[in-house]
Structure 1
Amino acid sequence: MCTCLLSFDPDSPVPVLAVGVRDEYADRAWDPPAAHWPDSPGLIGGRDRLAGGTWLAVNPAAHRLGVVLNGCGIAAPAEGRLSRGDLPLRAAEHGDLGPLDPARFDPFHLICAEPGKVRLWTWTGLDLTDRWLDPGVHLVVNTGLDATCPGPSSIPEAALEGIRARLAHFRPLLESTPRPNPADDAPTSSAWGPWLPLADGASLPFDDPRALLHRHTTDDGRTFGTTSVSLVALSPETTRYDFSATPGTPTAWTRILPT
């Protein structure tokens, strides 16, 4: 179950801080963050090799971030279905969805963040909602903003309990942890300071019901869990993007932006 932890403070030198946690099957191939899309050369993100899109896209020129999470609701018809991995690219490039037929996508939550505003779209397969987020701490999971779960859910009850436990554990941690102001040229550890242990899972083991980073074996023998974590900071002057392909390993962070 993917998670996005977000702190939005328009009065801060760095108004937007985000932790993007991607959960996926371990055998689904992907490429690390880079400029993978020739038609959108200014965008940076990891690329899903299966569908060609991304889960998180950064537009450093516009200081803009797009993040998508799977949602709850009714799946799109197989014929004509489009990949949700296209949505963060649209949001990061244009700041909105542009012409879009949501019925061609499975349910989703899409975040578009800039230094002065943060927007969240939710599609349930029946309704598309669009809201601006107030300043403060926000947690978006597969069941929506703060697990409000719009739309019918097929998520097993045990997974829903885990989502609720995760939010109950990490919200007070996020609210009580001092906000960093990541410097452009600082190493990840000093740039993100007290937020880095949060992004590394706050010392919870993968099998803890509250875990932000997790991993388990499914009934068909595949491994599912956290495959990467992104840290993104947006200010009017700069964009910082740090990435870990080894979640929970403090020494595994790489600075993607600024280069």
Structure 2
Amino acid sequence: MCTAIIGIDPSSPVPVLLAGVRDEFVNRAWERPAPHWPDRPGLVGGRDLRAGGTWLAVDPAAPRAGVVLNGRGRFAPEDRRASRGELPLLAASGADPGALSLDVFDPFHLVAAEPGRVRLWSWDGDALTEHELGPGVHIIVNSGLEGGGGPAPADGPDGGPDGGAGDGAREDAYMAARLSHFRPRMLTAPRPRPGFGDEPAGKAWGAWLPLIDGDGLARADHRALLPLIDLGGGNVWGTTSVSLVALAADDARYDFSAMPGDPAAWTRVL
């Protein structure tokens, strides 16, 4: 049940703001954001140690960012499945997923953001659709932009549902509740204008930060942006990290928290 929140204001000195919430089994190993990929110099992101890719990547020199969420639809054949963790690296590099052989990927939603343009691609295992995101606040969850589209997921190839924890009907209900709670708050919150100096995250992200830190909801709440769900048998699913990225014409800011919901846990990556 990952979430991406994107604020676009072409008239602002910082036209693109991006929040990336990563949900995963909490025992899945990963490394904090850094330039982990020697063959992709300049790209920064957290690295998943199982597959080697990432969920969010930033190229500060471009500047550009890419973020991926699990989607819904037909899974790729197991014998030639490729990791979706490669996709944010490609998006942050400026690549167009339409030029790829997508049938090796399980369904996904991929955002490529740069100061003058934000695009969303959605792959359901059969067809690729592209949206150009305009001014305003956009929320993307596993069922798509603003939660619109796609049947409830079946069990995914990792043994759990493709987009999150629990059965598909429950996941749909959780995503609907999350959108219902957070969308009006994000729309009415004063838009931050993060600086690129040494200001702390609390000052840089203003009214967004308490919302991204969970808005005071318990992590077991069905509306939670930062869920934490005990599935039993030692399996716990939930938010393992949160990223905030700001893109200006010639600069990027990247703040990161490995302790979701703790306002003191934010560190500056870029």
TM-score class, shorter-chain normalisation, is over 0.9
- CA offset at residue 152 of structure 1? 6.3
Contact 1:115-1:234 within 8 A present in 2 as well: yes
User: Shift of the alpha carbon at 1:80?
Assistant: 1.1
Cross-structure match for 1:60: 60
TM, length-normalised to structure 1 = 0.97
Q: Is the 8 A contact 1:55 1:85 kept in 2?
A: yes
Equivalent residue runs for 1:97-108 within 5 Å: 97=97, 99-108=99-108
Distance 1:192 1:221, change over 3 A: same
Where does the alignment leave 5 or more consecutive residues of structure 2 unmatched?
155-166
Give the aligned length.
Answer: 257
The answer to whether the Cα contact below 8 Å between 2:23 and 2:239 also exists between their aligned partners in 1 is yes
1 CA distance for matches of 2:195 and 2:31?
26
Matched-pair contact (CA < 8 Å) for 1:74–1:152: no
> Contact 1:55 / 1:69 at 8 angstroms: preserved in 2?
yes
Query: In structure 2, what is the Cα distance between the partners aligned to 1:219 and 1:100?
Result: 38
Q: CA deviation at 1:246?
A: 0.3
Q: Give the TM-score, by structure 2 length.
A: 0.93
Equivalent in the alignment of 1:73? 73
**In the TM superposition, what whole-angstrom CA distance separates every residue of 1:156-183 from its partner, at most 9, and x where no partner exists?**
2111101001001111000000011101
**Partner in structure 1 of residue 225 of structure 2:** 212
User: Is the counterpart of residue 175 in structure 1 residue 202 in structure 2?
Assistant: no
Per-residue CA deviations over 1:9-33 (Å, capped at 9, x if unaligned) read 1111111111100000011000000
| Secondary structure class of the residue paired with 1:230 | strand
Q: Does the 8 A contact of 1:63 with 1:114 survive in 2?
A: yes
Q: Contact (CA 8 Å) 2:143, 2:149: kept in 1 or not?
A: yes
Using the TM superposition, name which of 147-156 and 123-132 deviates more: 147-156
CA distance in 1, matches of 2:99, 2:179: 34
Q: Distance in 2 between matches of 1:254 and 1:149?
A: 35
Q: Which residue of structure 2 aligns with residue 9 of structure 1?
A: 9
- Contact 1:233-1:240 within 8 A present in 2 as well: yes
Extract unaligned runs of 5+ from structure 1. Answer: none
> Identical aligned pairs, as a percentage?
56
Which residue of structure 2 aligns with residue 246 of structure 1?
259
Q: RMSD value over aligned CA atoms?
A: 1.2
Superposed counterparts of 1:73-92, under 5 Å: 73-92=73-92
